[in-house]
Structures are given as C-alpha cells and as structure tokens.
Structure 1
Amino acid sequence: MSLASFLAADKRIVQVRLIRVRGSSPREAGAQMFVSADGTIGTIGGGQLEYMATDHARAMLRSGLHSDKMDVPLGSEIGQCCGGRVEISLQRMTSADRATALAEREASDRQSPCVYILGAGHVGRALARQFQHLPVRCSIIDSRGDELALVDAAVEARLSAMAEADIRRAPKGSAFIVLTHDHALDFLLTSEALERGDAAYVGLIGSATKRAKFERYHRASEARSDTRGLVCPIGATGSPDKRPEVIAAFVVAEVMDVLTTRCAHDVIAETTR
C-alpha cells in the first residue's frame, strides 16, 4: 500500500519519527512510520522499539492526546542490544501534516537513484520484481512489446526502439543493467552507458568470455570510455544456480551496494561543504 492510500484510509493517524539518535540504533534520525488503529506503514527499525512506539501511538489515538515524546534506551531492559538511545516524537496528524508528509515522500521519490533494466527477458523481469520494493526509480526497457507485456512488477515498462537514446537521457548517477536478447545490442548499449562517464553502475550479463569479446568490440569501435568500471559478469558469486530469480537477487544486492554507498558519500560530502 502506498503512503497516499494509507493516509486516505483513516482520518486518525499518528506520525512517529526518530528525532534524535545517540549511539547505535536500527534506524537513523528522521526515520518515520505512520500508525493507525489497525495498521502501520513505514518503520523506525522494528523490534521492541517499534512495538513500544506503535503501542504508544495507539494509546494516543484512544485517549485523544495530540502529541507526545518518548526517550528509549536500546538496551537489555527492552530486549534490544543496539546499546544506543533514541528520542521519538509522536504527533496526531492534521490535514496539513498529511499534505506535508506526502510532499516529502514525493520529493524523496524524485531524488531516488534511477535503475535501467535494458532487456525484458526472464532475468530482466525478475530484476524488476525485486527493484519494485526498493528505494529506486526503476525502468525496464525493450523494443519487443510482447516481452514488455509480461512485466508484472510495479515499475515503468518502456517500449523503445532506440534504448541508447534512453541511456543518454538518463539522470547522472543512474545504474544500467544490460541483458537484451542480442549480443550486438548488448555491446552497443553497454558502450553507450560507459560513454556517459557518470553512471553509478554499468553491468553486462554474461561470462568472462563475453567480457573479453566486449573489450575487443570496444577497442575496435575506438570508444573513449574506460571499461574498468564495467561489471561483467554481473552478480558474480560463483553460484551454479542460474534461475532468473536467483541471478536477480545477486545482481540487485550488487547494484544496491553501489547505489547506497554512493548516496552515503554524497550526503557526507554535502554536510562537510
């Protein structure tokens, strides 16, 4: 369920937000969740901390209390072993609060990194199913309408006869996963993604042999881009399991590791300016 649907379903909701974190905690300051009498959306870290906050929020709904705070040590006394301490604000939401929360979510979504899956075959569709649950803007692109029609994930399915143009228009810091139905097209799109010079991740499905062939193609085409940043094979773990869902799990972990590390570096750089 989306945040908009959750907020529209009940007029009595408490916004629960971590406002201060000292020491180790399962979530960072600013993490939030929304609590109604019979549901929640979002998380402040799970476990006993979240149970206590949810219980407190529902007690507020029953009593009519509009705002409150909690100061919780994350130690053995509540059954958690983080060892830090968090302060939580709890606020009954007004119409203005709901509008603000939705605007913040939309802004956050717009700032999420873009992931482009270039090829809507079995592995591409398996990737889309997993990326739909993650904080990214995912698009799956193919020139074959019949394959795109099989995409069942809540991501953008884009029919495109020239995916290289989509790559050129992508935002800075995007991730590109190339796994089309044609090796020549794979090589063209991989070169296009590398040529940008600002991609967070460029991955090409295939073996070490395919990478060697791509390197020869790249040199022959006199491309200026460096291939050292290319990931091929993708999701390389040595696992013999080639089921699309398994391959997708390894690739998603690989891509998210790069994207979240890059995001953390950007945040640190911004705060130290």
Structure 2
Amino acid sequence: MLDIAGELSVWLDEGRRFAVATVVGVSGSAPRGPGAALAVDADGTVIGSVSGGCVEGAVYDLCLQALQDGVPVLERFGYSDEDAFAVGLTCGGVIEVLVTPVEGDPAVRAAVTAAAHGEPVALARVVRGPGHLAGRGLLMRPDGTRLGSLGGPGELDRTAAEQARALLDAGRTGTVEVGEDGSHCPGGVTLLVEANLAPPRMIVFGAIDFAAALVRAGRFLGYHVTVCDARPVFATRARFPDAHEVVVDWPHRYLRRTGTDGRTVLCVLTHDAKFDVPLLVEALRRPVAYVGAMGSRRTHVDRERRLRAAGLSDAELSRLRSPIGLDLGARTPEETALSITAEIVAARRGGTGLPLTVSGTPIHRPARDLDAPGRPAPDRPAQERPAQERDAAAA
C-alpha cells in the first residue's frame, strides 16, 4: 500500500474508513508487481490500481466487502481459457491480492505517513498464517527501531523485523516465508514486506537546453533531479524551475562530495573535455545504476581515448553509455530527453530497447537487480551500439 501512501495519508488525516488491496504475488505476465495497491473508502471512492484494469472491478467489490465485514481476504486472479470475459488477467498471468480493512493500526498509519513524506520505511504484514495474525502490521525503520506487532510470539516479531530490515536495505518489496514460532525456516507464515525508499537521484551535468527537457522527464519518472554546472550564468533556478536542486560547482568536485547509491543515474551533457574527463573518471568508479554522456560519435572516440589515458580500465569504460540515449531519431530537446530516459528505463528493467513487435521478449518480465553496486551495464543489442562497436564486433 505504500505506493499510494500520499493519497492514503490524506484519507487517514480526514478520518476516512477504507480497505486496501495489495498485490502480494505474481507469476507469468502481469502488469503490476508486488506492492501495487488499490484502496476504496466507505463512500466508494477508489485510488490506485492492482492490474492496470483487468480485475479492478472484482477487487473493488472485495474492498467494499472487507469494509462491511472487517475480514481480510486473499484472492487469486488468473486468465480463464474457458471464458476470456471472466474476471481474470487477459495478459495470461496470475496475481494474488490481499484485501484488508484499515482500522487504525498504528504501524500501518505510521508507515503510510512516513512513506508519504518520502522517508525510508518497511511495513511487514501477514499474507498467510493463523487467523489471529491477519491484518496486523509491523513497521521497521533504517535505524532498527520498530513499531507494532504481528500478534504472535515475540520471536515472530523479531524475525519479521529482521526480514523487513533486509528488504529495506535492498530497496525491495516482496514476500518471505517464516515459521509460526519465528524461526527462519518456512513453516506456516508468509509475510509481505513493502519497502519505501527516498526517490532515486538523477544528476544532470551541463546547464543546456537539452538538460531542461531531461529534468522535466526525470522528475516525471520520479527521480530527485539535480542540475550541476560550473557556470553561474547558466545554472540558475530561473532556467531550471523543475529541478529539485541547481548547483554551481565543477561537476567532478560536486560528484565527489555528494551522495549517490546503486539507483543513481548520472547524465553528462556538457560534451566538453575539460568537464567530461575528470567527471567521468569519478562517475565510472562509483557504484551507480547508469552513466551516460552526450556527444557525437567522433566526440565519443576522443573521449574514450582521453579516459583511457586518465587510467580507466576496459571494465570501467564498459559501463559508459555513449553516445547517450536510444536511437529514436531524436532532434528536439524533448525528443532527446525521451531517448535518454528510455535508455535509463531499459537499463534499469533489463529491456532490449527494440520494438516489442520484433523483440520476442516478455512484455512484463521479472525485476532485474540492475541497481547492484558496481554492476556493469548489460550488453546492448547490436542495433543499439555505435557504428564503430558494430564494426569491431564484426571484424
């Protein structure tokens, strides 16, 4: 439910009664992953989504029923070969949805409030287990403090807290199996742990018109966006009103002193060697998710030569996306921003960047751990590589 925490926080402040349906399991092709949520209040107002439309009507009815009788329910939805119009996922997948009335549980309330304010927090709830555990929540914070109880023995709470802390540290939402007695061996209790982290960072280096469009696109995708440029006349709030931060500093110096993690994306749009080389040396040695640099193919060849001379290894250079973006034929700043963010999404989700009509890959695929520190960028299909790379591969 934390993915709709902003709206739920308002409902809690207004004292509304509501029920929440949360995706707790997915198999096959499905449009939403674990943690996706839909909520319905006592007046029938609905927010969120669990399936992109396939089973929303049935889930809506389950939420109203939960509000009426106060009983949580776990429901499975899948595609029906016998009746394609039956309630189910026409994309062929199967999802499990936990529907629970929210009746003022302090841990749930605190988790929703924290997530609505962008604070890192994890919420563990029982999906399967003894009936007396249903509907309870346990909140875990990064500093190890916790709130609430699942209602079982103290050892169960301690184990749930450990599992929640581990998933929070990894920034993942998922289910875990534990024993009813709190043992780590699967044995009677399934927990859903929803993790909420602060938004990932996008740092755009180079205060140019293309950067302004990229800032807007990055913010739309949910990034906390920073623009950095050493030239104060260009790096101004007036030129970048959509950025969360505008920093006047030498790019490599700012990168050295700012915080990044395995979800951070770095976009280098300066295409000027005196800025690019020291910045990219720093960037390509950091455990970030994506590093891309703008410039022509000729610029890329010269930049790569300079980076090798600065001491970067082949493995470090393999992480660089240059020229930045997918080949969309982009010309305008907005089209270029779309090209760049499309490549970022493909890198994060394991996409090929090819049209779905010819890719042959699943549309909804399992999440890939592309945010792991130090992981190099995956190999790109031949159609995406610069011409000199394709020629070298063919030689």
Structures share fold, TM-score greater than 0.5: yes
Aligned equivalents of 1:126 and 1:88: distance in 2? Answer: 38
Offset of 1:211 from its aligned partner?
0.8
Q: Aligned-pair RMSD on alpha carbons? A: 3.2
Q: CA distance change for structure 1 residues 85 and 199 in 2, over 3 Å: closer, same or farther?
A: closer
> Which residue of 369, 377, 382 maps to 1:265?
369
Counterpart in the other structure of 1:98 = 109
Aligned equivalents of 1:146 and 1:85: distance in 2? Answer: 49
Offset of 1:247 from its aligned partner?
0.7
Offset of 1:180 from its aligned partner?
2.9
Counterpart in the other structure of 2:244 = 156
CA contact (8 A) 2:217 2:341 kept: yes
What are the within-5 Å matches in structure 2 for residues 1-273 of structure 1?
3-9=5-11, 10=14, 11-36=16-41, 37-41=44-48, 43-58=49-64, 60-61=66-67, 63=68, 65=70, 67-75=72-80, 76=84, 77-78=86-87, 80-95=89-104, 96=106, 97-103=108-114, 106-107=119-120, 108-110=195-197, 113-143=200-230, 144=232, 147-153=236-242, 155-168=243-256, 169-173=258-262, 174-180=264-270, 182-194=272-284, 196-220=285-309, 222-225=310-313, 226-237=316-327, 239=329, 241-261=330-350, 264-265=368-369
Tell me which amino acid in the other structure corresponds to 1:235. G
SS in 1 for 2:368: helix
Q: Deviations over 1:136-189 (max 9, x none)?
A: 443232343654333233x52232313213322332433210013855323332
Q: CA distance change for structure 1 residues 152 and 101 in 2, over 3 Å: closer, same or farther?
A: same
Aligned equivalents of 2:212 and 2:298: distance in 1? Answer: 24
CA contact (8 A) 2:79 2:94 kept: yes
Offset of 1:60 from its aligned partner?
4.6
Structure showing greater Rg = 2
CA contact (8 A) 1:25 1:83 kept: yes
Offset of 1:197 from its aligned partner?
4.6
TM-score (norm. length: structure 1): 0.79
Q: CA distance change for structure 1 residues 111 and 146 in 2, over 3 Å: closer, same or farther?
A: closer
Tell me which amino acid in the other structure corresponds to 2:250. M
Number of residue pairs matched by the alignment: 262
Aligned equivalents of 1:137 and 1:15: distance in 2? Answer: 28
Tell me which amino acid in the other structure corresponds to 2:290. Y
TM-score (norm. length: structure 2): 0.57
Where in structure 1 are there 5+ consecutive unaligned residues?
Answer: 269-273
Aligned equivalents of 1:266 and 1:258: distance in 2? Answer: 7
After TM superposition, where is structure 1 displaced by more than 6 Å over at least 4 residues in a row?
A: none
CA contact (8 A) 1:172 1:199 kept: yes
Aligned equivalents of 1:52 and 1:35: distance in 2? Answer: 12
Aligned equivalents of 1:200 and 1:29: distance in 2? Answer: 22
CA contact (8 A) 1:73 1:85 kept: yes
Aligned equivalents of 1:79 and 1:22: distance in 2? Answer: 13
Offset of 1:55 from its aligned partner?
4.1
Aligned equivalents of 2:348 and 2:93: distance in 1? Answer: 27
Larger RCO of the pair (alpha carbons < 8 Å, separation 6+) = 1
Q: CA distance change for structure 1 residues 261 and 98 in 2, over 3 Å: closer, same or farther?
A: farther
CA contact (8 A) 2:73 2:100 kept: yes
SS in 1 for 2:55: helix
Q: CA distance change for structure 1 residues 32 and 166 in 2, over 3 Å: closer, same or farther?
A: farther
Q: Deviations over 1:102-151 (max 9, x none)?
A: 44563245365432111232221212212223354432323436543332
CA contact (8 A) 1:142 1:148 kept: no
CA contact (8 A) 1:68 1:89 kept: yes
CA contact (8 A) 2:292 2:320 kept: yes
Offset of 1:252 from its aligned partner?
0.5
Q: Deviations over 1:81-101 (max 9, x none)?
A: 233333322222233222223
CA contact (8 A) 1:121 1:181 kept: no
CA contact (8 A) 1:126 1:248 kept: yes
Where in structure 2 are there 5+ consecutive unaligned residues?
Answer: 121-194, 352-366, 373-395
